[in-house]
Structure 1
Amino acid sequence: MSTKAAVSYSTEHDSYNAGREMSLKALADARLDKCQFSFAFASSEHDAEKLIKGIKSVLGEETLILGGTSAGIITGDYMGYEGFHAGILVISSDEISIDTHLVEGLKDGEYDTGRKMGEKISRINELENPNLLLFYDSMQYDRSKANPFYQATPILAGIQSVLNDWPPVAGVGIVGGAMGTKRTELWNNDKISKDSILSVLISGSIRMDTTIMHGLKPASDYHTITKATGNILFEFDGRPAMEVASEYLGFIVEPDWKNAMYLITIGVNRGEKYDPFREENYINRLVLGVDETSGALLVMEGDLKVGDNFQFMRRSIETDMVSEMAQKLMESIGTREPLFAFYIACLGRVKKFFGTEKEESEEIQKTIGSKMPLLGIYSGTEIARVRDNVMPLDWTGVLCIFSSK
C-alpha cells in the first residue's frame, strides 16, 4: 500500500458537519476508504468534541486523531485566521508508525511536566528513523501571572534531562488568537486537554527535514543584558531596559508600550558575532510588555541571561526569500518521495499584524502546496533546531517535509 496522504479544510460553522466535510474531501482526494492516522486543527470557535465526532463518523473509531486549537489554518488552496475554520491531514500507510503521549500538568511546572514527557519518549531513538513533533498548550489560565504564556524553554529542558539525543524535531505552542485571547486545547484521539504537552513519534520508512524562516533582521549593534530575572529583563548595558529600547525606537515622546510586541524584538546570534547574517543562527524573543515602574521588558521566554549579547531586530519578511528557502528544503530531499508537509507559522507573521503586502504563507502554498499535501497552522511559539540546540523561537516559520525512500 505504501503511504498515501491528503489534506482538506472546512469553513462550516457547525462543528460536527465541519469534521465530516473535511474528512470526506480528504479521503476522496487520497482515493482512500479509510486511514490509520489524521492530524486535525480548528479555531477556538469550534466545539472540539463535536468536531472529533464528525471526523470519526467518516474515518471510523480506529483512526488516530491528533491535533488541537489553532489560530489559523493553511492548506494548498486555503488560508484563514479569523472566524470558523478547520483543517485535516489524513494518512494511510503500512510503512510508518505513529505513537503519541499526552502529559498534563503544565500549571504545576513546565520543567517537571517536560521531564515526565521525556520519560515517556526516552526510548525514541530505538525506533526506526524516529521523528518527533511536539505540541504544547501555550496559554496560561492563571491571569495573576506576569507572563500569560507557558514557556517552552523549561519544557524542552525537562525533556532533554531524560532524552540523550534529539531526533529530527519540530514543535509548536498552540494559541487560539492574538495574545492568548481565546481558549486552547490539545487533542489525543478522544482525550481533549489543556495545560498539557502532546508528543507525536513518527517512525518507519519516513524522514522529516526542516527549515527555519525568521522574518527578522538585525537593526542595531550588540547590547548586553546586565540585569535579568526569568523572563524579565531589567537592564541593558547597565541602564534601564526601557530607556535603551526607547533610544533604539527613536521616539521623541514616550512610545505606546501597550503595543510593545509590535515595536520590539530581541535577537541572539548563536553564530559568530560579526559574520554575515544567517537567520538560522538567530533565536528571537518577542517582547510581551513592559514594567514602567522598574523600566523592565517582559519577554516570551526566560532563557536570556545576564551577560548575553543581543541585537534589536526589525521585521523583514521577504516573500521571495520564503519561497527560496522552501525550494531549497524541497531540493534537499533529493530523490526521496515527498509524502506531505507541515508548516508552523507564527501568528504575528500574518499580513494583518506584520504589515506586509501579501501573506507569506502564499509562498509556501505555491512552492510546497502545489507539489504535496500541505497542512499548516498559526502558532504562538515555534520549536526547531538552531545549530546544535533545540530552541523555542518567535516570529518564525518552521517548514517540515516528510519523505520516504
Structure 2
Amino acid sequence: MSTLIGVGFSEKKDPFLAASEAAKMALYQIHHRPITVAFLFSTIHFAHQRLLEGIYYALGHIKLLGCTGSSVIWPEAINKYGVGLMLISMDHVTFGQAHSVGIKTKGARQIGEEFARQALKNLSTPQRDLALIFCDGIVENGSDLLKGIKDILGLSFPIFGASAADNFRFHQTYQYFDKELLTDGVAGLIFSGENIFGMGVRHGWKPLGRPHTITGVKGNVIKTIEEKPAVTIYEEYFGKSRKEIEKTLIEMSIYYPLGLYVPGETEYLLRNVLRIDEDGGLVCQGDASVGSEVRLMMGTKEWALNAATQAAQEAKDSLKDKEVKGALVFESISRNKLLGRLTERELSRIKKVLGNVPILGICSYGEQAPLKSLEHYGETYFHNETLAILAIGESHAADKHI
C-alpha cells in the first residue's frame, strides 16, 4: 500500500467548523484510507479546544500533532488566518508520541529530556530514525530544549521541528497533542522505519564586515564580543547609540541578525536578538559559545528566495531515489516579514522543485534542524530566520506493524 498524503485548509471563523472542513478536504485526498498520523497547524485565532473537537468529530480517534503559527503554509497560499491539516497514510513506519509541559517551572532542558524518554518508551522498538517536535515559541533559550532531547537521543540524532508562534504578540503559543491543547511545553514523536525523510535547511543571509570573537556568554546572552559589551557590534557598525538601537532592535535584528560560524558549513547559524541587558549583553533566542566567530548578517529578498529553492532541492536530493509525496515546511516569521508580498513567490519556488505535492507548515518563532558538517556529525541546532523543509518520500520496504 503506497503513501498517500492529503492537505485541507479552512478560514471558517468557528474553530469546530474550520476543523471539520479541513478534515473532510484532506480525507478526500487520501481516499478515506486509514490515517497513520495527522499534523494540525493554525493561526493563533483558532487555538481553542473546539478546534480539536472538530477534528475528532470528523475523523474519529487519530494520532495528532501540531501547533500555532503566525501564518499557515499550504499549497495554495501562505495565510495569516486559518487552519491547515495534513493527513498521512503510510506503511513501514512506527512511532512513539509524547509530550511534556512546564518549561517555565522545570526548565527547557528537563522538559526536553522528559519528552525524549517518554517518546522512546512509547516507540516500543530499539530502532529510531527521526524526532519531529513542536514546542512553545516563547522560550528565550530555545537551544536548551534541544540539549535535553540530545541528552537522551544523542548529539547526532536528527531532530526536526518548529517553535510555535502567535504573530509577534509574544503572549502565549500552543501545541496540539491528540485531543489536548497544550502550552509551555513540547509535543512530538520519534519515527522508526525505512528512511523516508529528506531535509533541507537554508536562510540566504550573508555576512557583513569582519568576523568577531565571542568572549563572554551566559546562557542565551552574548555578554561580550572581543571583551567589549556585545551591543558594541551594532553600535560600531551603524554608528548609533545603545538607546537608538533599543528603539528599533526587533526590526534591526530581522534585517541584521547575528551569524555564528559553524566549521564546515556554507551558511552561518542565525540568532535574533530579543533585547539588550543592563550590561550591554545581547539576549538571543538561541545559544552561543565562547570562542565562536560571530558576524553581523544581511538579508535581501532575492537571497531569501534563492535560499527557498536551495532548501527544497536539498530536501528532494536527500530522498535519493524516492518519490516526493509531500512536505512539511517551517519558515521563520522574520523571513516572512522580510519577503512581505513576495512570500507567494517563495512558495512557488518550493513547489517548482518538489512538484505538485501536498505541503503544510507554519511561519514560526524558530526552527529545529540538523546541519551537515562532518566536524559536528550532523548535529541539530536551533535556527532563526531560516526555512526548513522536511520532504516525505514513498516507502517500498516490506510491511511493518504500525
Please confirm whether the aligned pair reaches a TM-score higher than 0.5, indicating the same fold.
yes
Q: How does 1:217-366 map to 2 (within 5 A)?
A: 217-251=206-240, 255-264=244-253, 265-271=257-263, 278-279=266-267, 282-291=268-277, 293-301=278-286, 303-317=287-301, 318=303, 319-350=305-336, 353-355=337-339, 358-359=342-343, 361-366=346-351
Gapped runs of 5+ residues in structure 1?
140-148
- The question of 1:157 aligning with 2:147 is answered yes
Partner residue, 1:51: 51
Listed one character per residue, the Cα deviations across residues 113-143 of structure 1 (whole Å, up to 9, x for unaligned) are 122223224476955562210111122xxxx
1:199-241 Cα deviation digits (max 9, x unpaired): 2123334521101111311112111222332222332222222
Which structure: greater helix fraction? 2
Aligned-pair CA distance for 1:263 = 1.4
1:394 to partner: Cα distance: 0.6
CA RMSD of aligned residues (A): 2.4
Q: Give matches, 1:4-403, under 5 Å.
A: 4-32=4-32, 34-60=34-60, 62-81=61-80, 84-107=81-104, 108-122=106-120, 126-127=125-126, 130-139=129-138, 149-164=139-154, 166-178=156-168, 180-181=170-171, 183-251=172-240, 255-264=244-253, 265-271=257-263, 278-279=266-267, 282-291=268-277, 293-301=278-286, 303-317=287-301, 318=303, 319-350=305-336, 353-355=337-339, 358-359=342-343, 361-367=346-352, 370-386=355-371, 387=373, 388=377, 389-403=379-393
For 2:100 and 2:284, how far apart are their aligned partners in 1? 26
Q: Does the aligned pair in 1 maintain the 2:202–2:310 contact within 8 Å? A: no
Amino acid at match of 1:115: E
Q: What is aligned with 1:143?
A: none
Name the CA shift for 1:130/1:244 in 2 (closer, same or farther; >3 Å). closer
Question: Is contact 2:96-2:119 (8 Å) kept?
Answer: no
SS at match of 1:342: strand
SS of corresponding position for 1:178: coil
Q: Structure 2, unaligned stretches of length 5 or more?
A: 397-402
Aligned residues between the structures: 382
1:380 shift after superposition: 0.6
1:356 to 1:138, Cα distance in 2 relative to 1, 3 A: closer
Separation of aligned partners in 1, 2:218 and 2:312 = 37
Shift of 1:86: 0.6
Taking structure 2 as the reference length, what is the TM-score of the superposition? 0.87
Question: Structure 1 CA distance, aligned partners of 2:148 and 2:244?
Answer: 38
Going from structure 1 to structure 2, the CA distance change for 1:323 and 1:210 (only over 3 Å counts) comes to: same
TM-score (norm 1): 0.86
Structure 2 counterpart SS, 1:221: strand
Cα contact 1:341–1:368 (8 A) shared by 2: no
Residues 311-333 of structure 1, C-alpha deviations (whole Å, 9 max, x = no match): 11112342134224413432442
In structure 1, C-alpha distance between the alignment counterparts of 2:154 and 2:295, rounded to whole Å: 32
Contact 1:27 1:34 in 2 (8 A): no
Q: Identity, % of aligned pairs?
A: 23
* In 2: Cα distance, 1:364 partner to 1:378 partner: 17
CA apart distance, 1:189: 0.7
Contact 1:44 1:184 in 2 (8 A): yes
| Match in the other structure for 1:145 | none
* Cα separation, partners in 2 of 1:36 and 1:122, compared to 1, 3 Å: closer
